[in-house]
Amino acid sequence: MSGPNGMLYGGDEIGALVFDPGHHSLRVGYAQEDTPKADIPAVIGVGPAPLIPDAEQKVPDGNVTQSGTKTGNELRHYIDVTELHVPRPSMEVQTYMKDGQIENWDLFEKMLDYCYTKVIRSPSEHHPALFTEAVWTSRPTREKLAELLFEKYQAPAFFLVKNAVLAAFANGKSTALVIDAGASQTSAVPVVDGYALVNAAVRSPVGGDHLVAQAKNMLNNMHIQMLPVYSIQTKEVIRERERARYTLKTLPAGLTPSWQQYMLKRQYEDFCHCVAQVSEIAYDERTAAVVPGVHHEFPGGYHQDFGPERFKLTECLFEQSLGAPHLACAAAASCDADARPALWASVVACGGVAAMGGWTERLAKELAARAPSSHRLKTHAAPSPVERRFAAWIGGSILASIGSFQQMWISSQEYDEGGKGQLERKCP
């Protein structure tokens, strides 16, 4: 499908963009590439702009988008880690996502502005945009997104695909049972011939954020203090399990609770990333004690080995009725009997939690115990954690660069003629 000036949308000379908005971060980059160009936290710092003399005000600021007038009460939006992780007085941290879909559109526009000006560094009217969406995204949200891209950003073409379908494509499947373990929830979605079966999709609120909350409780019970990394000036080298010795920085007054909680949450995420491990069978202290521990040092300098605790921590991801194995069985059971053999033969695991050590092996083991013995069970997961985490984005990158997909785009001309009705027709 060629654009207004005869250029192929997905051709080599013009790059289609793939956006994958999630609760933890937004992935954005060019189609045909194998990883996103940027992975930006899905939160934005909103705070008063520091007063700058008029002469300096003409200098465009790095990762900051400004709005308002020069009256001194203007708001600034701080996006991406380099700007967000700086302690600033009165900066509130807000997210634009709720329940797997975009809720705060003003903040989301700031994020898109940042993507086009600082990540892609090219005008939005030059690039067709493919967006991923959750299976339960409501119709008004989809229409609002199309309206935003065509009317504000003047995109030459636009397309929306369910993230479960793209995760299946990234694993080379058009029919699959996709288990996506993300930050805010875990879902199981049956995909048949490239279409997500929305009515059979199931989800539970157990995800990466739930694991982080468990890690916080565990460390509190062990009386290990998680000091904010930005508050430490110097620390001394100490022996294992010895009390930490450090000096604190003087921080600006007026740091908001929302920013402090966000920064601490990032540190608990790091802790889970480094320490948490899923055991291949249900947690058993004796078996876990045999496995060598993992050493971890906290920001204040305190350090120790973590043994069986790191396996016990992740058991919350496999709770009886909320864990991924239960969801997979419930989703498969909601499908027609003749579709089930194909779904059980290609179970695809993806998402940030699925990138954790041992998670896919445990899932495969639990499914083998639960799946009907008449069906052949095969679990697929990309070999590298990065590919599991970015599965939906990679699927979008593959799809937008396929020649036969080019006639599927909703062009701006079609949108002008048919309006939002085009969405239901072309992006089911």
* CA-CA-CA-CA dihedral for 277, 281, 283, 284, to nearest 10: -120
Q: What is the pLDDT of residue 399?
A: 96
| Residues belonging to the chain | 428
pLDDT at 55 over 70: no
Query: Do the beta carbons of residue 175 and residue 378 sit within 8 Å?
Result: no
* Continuous segment of H or E residues that includes residue 234: strand 232-235
The runs of H, that is alpha helices, within 3-115 are 81-84, 105-114
Query: Do the beta carbons of residue 352 and residue 382 sit within 8 Å?
Result: no
Q: Output 105 or 62, whichever has higher pLDDT.
A: 105
Q: What is the DSSP string of 362-378?
A: HHHHHHHHHS-TTSPP-
Render pLDDT for 148-167 as a digit per residue (tens, 0 to 9). 999 999 999 999 999 999 99
Mean pLDDT of the chain: 91
Residue of 275, 308, 276, 305 lying closest to 290 (CA atoms): 308
Q: What is the pLDDT of residue 34?
A: 95
Render pLDDT for 4-27 as a digit per residue (tens, 0 to 9). 444 455 445 568 999 999 999 999
Which residue shows structure tokens 């636009």? 158
Least confident of 71-80, 300-309, 346-355: 71-80
- Of the pLDDT bands very low, low, confident and very high (cuts 50, 70, 90), residue 70 is very low
- Of the pLDDT bands very low, low, confident and very high (cuts 50, 70, 90), residue 64 is low
Structure tokens at 419: 């309006």
pLDDT at 382 over 90: yes
pLDDT at 69 over 50: no
Which residue shows structure tokens 């085009």? 422
- Of the pLDDT bands very low, low, confident and very high (cuts 50, 70, 90), residue 56 is very low
Report the percent of the chain where pLDDT is more than 90: 87
SS3 105: helix
Render pLDDT for 92-150 as a digit per residue (tens, 0 to 9). 999 999 988 999 999 999 999 999 999 999 999 999 999 999 999 999 999 999 999 99
pLDDT at 395 over 70: yes
Which residue shows structure tokens 């000096």? 247
- Of the pLDDT bands very low, low, confident and very high (cuts 50, 70, 90), residue 224 is very high
Q: What is the DSSP string of 167-224?
A: HHHHTT-SSEEEEEE-SS-EEEEEEETTEE-GGG-EEES-SHHHHHHHHHHHHHHTT-
* Continuous segment of H or E residues that includes residue 161: strand 157-162
Give the whole-angstrom CA distance, residue 343 versus residue 377. Answer: 9
**Reported pTM:** 0.92
Q: What is the pLDDT of residue 207?
A: 95
